[in-house]
């Protein structure tokens, strides 16, 4: 049995790994428990480069937020935001525009508690502890409405989170619903795990299998399915690519040698 520590919300099961805390461990964070660390180590055993996968996703998110912010987007709806790992979306956005507004939506209680602590002193950002699948509730929530003006463009961020919505039609409909709620000039920032690649797809399938033992199983999807989420939107160059290939800042070795090891396809697109 794990020992409950003081920062742990009282009614959570610390003996079952959660994707938010496993991901936190892979990124070097401290908001995780034995069960999460064991699950992360099991993932590393099956996919030795899984920490790179997490880091590439996180740095894609950083570049994508910067891209949007540099084009005048100052509102972000971050769905499945995870731990507020440095740098968080609000920190990235506020570097470009200090008046930026960010709403984090997350269902994992430790991540929500940690986000609340960090954001208590940040007037432009808030966290909503909610299931992002309840789109109408998320969109109507006072946290969302107080911070975001849906008359102005919003970047809808689904970074490594839509693959936890297991039903494919529900997942696609969810992306459409959030995009329908924001005006022209808004952006979709999305990354999603795939087992379509020539390299690493067997390992991705093993990760998906492992995820069934966590609080939230995931699913890998095809390139064609992920691409279809951007139908009707204007894809930003270079289109749908592995996270490590999306406008990289530095010529990382893995980017040139084995891009499919990033395992998540990513894109940014503008709503016309």
The two tokens of residue 217 are 């199983």
Backbone phi, then psi, for 165, in 5-degree steps? -95, 105
Stretch that binds ligand SAM, among 3-11, 66-74, 153-161, 242-250 (CB under 6 A): 153-161
Which residue, 217 or 227, has its beta carbon nearer to ligand SAM? 217
Buried b (16+ CB within 10 A) or exposed e, 201-239: eebbebbbebbeebbbebbbbeeebbeebbeebeebeee
Which residue, 151 or 269, has its beta carbon nearer to ligand SAM? 269
* Closest listed residue to residue 157, CA positions, set 194, 102, 195: 102
| Bridge partners (DSSP) listed for residue 193 | 264
CA dihedral for 38, 41, 47, 53, sign (positive or negative): positive
* Of the residues 32, 74, 75, 81, which one makes contact with ligand SAM according to CB under 6 A: 81
Which residues between 58 and 77 bind ligand SAM (CB under 6 A)? 58, 61
- If one asks whether residue 135 binds ligand SAM (CB under 6 A), the answer comes out as no
Residue 48: CB minimum distance to ligand SAM, A: 18
* Of the residues 13, 34, 95, 131, which one makes contact with ligand SAM according to CB under 6 A: 131
Helix (H, G, I), strand (E, B) or coil at 157: strand
DSSP count for the chain of H helices, then E strands: 11, 8
* Of the residues 31, 36, 40, 80, which one makes contact with ligand SAM according to CB under 6 A: 80
Stretch that binds ligand SAM, among 40-48, 105-113, 231-239, 255-263 (CB under 6 A): 105-113
Q: Note the residues at the interface with ligand SAM (CB under 6 A).
A: 19-20, 23, 57-58, 61, 80-82, 105-108, 111, 131-133, 159-161, 164, 216
């Amino acid at each position: 049995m794990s020992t409950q520590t003081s920062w742990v919300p009282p009614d959570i099961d610390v003996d079952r790994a959660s994707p938010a805390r496993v991901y936190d461990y892979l990124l070097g964070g401290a908001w995780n428990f034995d069960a999460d660390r064991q699950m992360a180590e099991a993932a590393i055993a099956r996919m030795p480069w899984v920490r790179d996968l997490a880091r590439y996703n996180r740095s894609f998110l950083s570049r994508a937020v910067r891209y949007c912010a540099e084009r005048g987007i100052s509102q972000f709806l971050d769905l499945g935001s995870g731990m507020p790992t440095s740098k968080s979306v609000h920190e990235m956005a506020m570097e470009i525009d200090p008046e930026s507004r960010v709403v984090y939506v997350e269902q994992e209680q430790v991540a929500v508690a940690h986000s609340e602590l960090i954001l208590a002193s940040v007037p432009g950002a808030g966290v909503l502890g909610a299931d992002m699948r309840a789109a109408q509730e998320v969109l109507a929530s006072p946290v969302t409405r107080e911070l975001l003006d849906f008359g102005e463009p919003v970047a809808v961020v689904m970074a490594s989170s839509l693959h936890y919505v297991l039903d494919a039609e529900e997942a696609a409909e969810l992306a459409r619903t959030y995009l329908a709620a924001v005006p022209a000039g808004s952006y979709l920032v999305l990354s999603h795990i795939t087992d379509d690649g020539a390299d690493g797809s067997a390992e991705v399938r093993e990760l998906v299998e492992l995820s069934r033992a966590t609080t939230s199983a995931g699913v890998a999807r095809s390139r064609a399915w992920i691409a279809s989420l951007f139908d009707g939107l204007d894809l930003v160059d270079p289109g749908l690519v592995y996270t490590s290939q999306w406008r990289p800042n530095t010529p990382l070795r893995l980017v040139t040698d084995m891009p499919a090891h990033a395992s998540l396809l990513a894109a940014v697109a503008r709503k016309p």
